[in-house]
Amino acid sequence: MIELEGLPELVDPVLIAAFEGWNDAGEASSGVIAHLESAWKAEPLVALDPDDYYDFQVTRPVVEMTDGLAQSIVWPTTRLLRARPPGVERDVVLLRGIEPNMRWRSFCDDIIYVCRELGIELAVMLGALLNDSPHTRPVPILGGATTEGLARSTGLELSRYEGPTGIVGVLQHAFGKAGLDAISLWASVPHYVAQPPNPKATLALLRRLEDVLEIPMPLGDLDEEARAWERGVDELASQDSEVAEYVKELEERKDAAELPEASGDAIAAEFERYLRRRDRDTDS
């Protein structure tokens, strides 16, 4: 069991977690944690012992260089950091990890143990998957929750996926068995442009995270980066007639499937988000 000493007392903390690897298409979900860690100036809390969970021939340590000299070895691991968003009366714990190579159940036990010690009762797991979504349309965000009531209260569109899962799915299940609330948010990344980064998917996860937690998320330059990314993919697609035709087919399929959502709840949710941001900008 992981040893914890000198942990601070947190105020109504919530966990936001993402893992590099199988759960992280386009590095969209790990990009959220990296963005928040920087924007909120998060401070380290604790790290899991990498010897327990990583095969270093599969997930190799990295040499950091300074002035051309080997300075240190960075071992693959999972770290938890503390942040206090400006103007928010609660703490956020960011979990920045790499999907473990072994002992997943013990890994989940360690994470839950740390969360209990920190007083965390709600976790939001982030993931990103490859899908046949066109890059020109809003990024679909699917979700999961440990209870139906939690799903309803957060307005999640639940995934009906059955099949192989990663550490995000396993950890959410472990939270539920431990009696803790957990939500997962999954961004759909176009499979034909899977290489990272994908700022549009990262931005979509941040906006959905803001809705679920009712905590203002710092977007920084992500809006412009997302637009630039989409323009770049447009240009690449236009250079290949088969790709352009395929994207057009995906757009038509997507538009036909989501036409009924163009009114009602979808428009209301977007308008409420706009009003919240306008009020915050006015107050500041």
Cα–chain center distance at 73: 26
> In the beta sheet, which residues pair with residue 18?
96, 126
Cα–chain center distance at 155: 17
Q: Where does the pLDDT of residue 66 fall: very low under 50, low under 70, confident under 90, or very high at 90 and above?
A: confident
pLDDT tens digits, one per residue of 230-269: 999 999 888 988 888 999 999 888 888 765 554 455 555 5
pLDDT tens digits, one per residue of 202-240: 999 999 999 999 999 999 999 999 999 999 999 988 898
In sequence order, the 6+-apart residues with CB closer than 8 A to the CB of 135 are 190, 193, 200, 230, 233, 234, 247
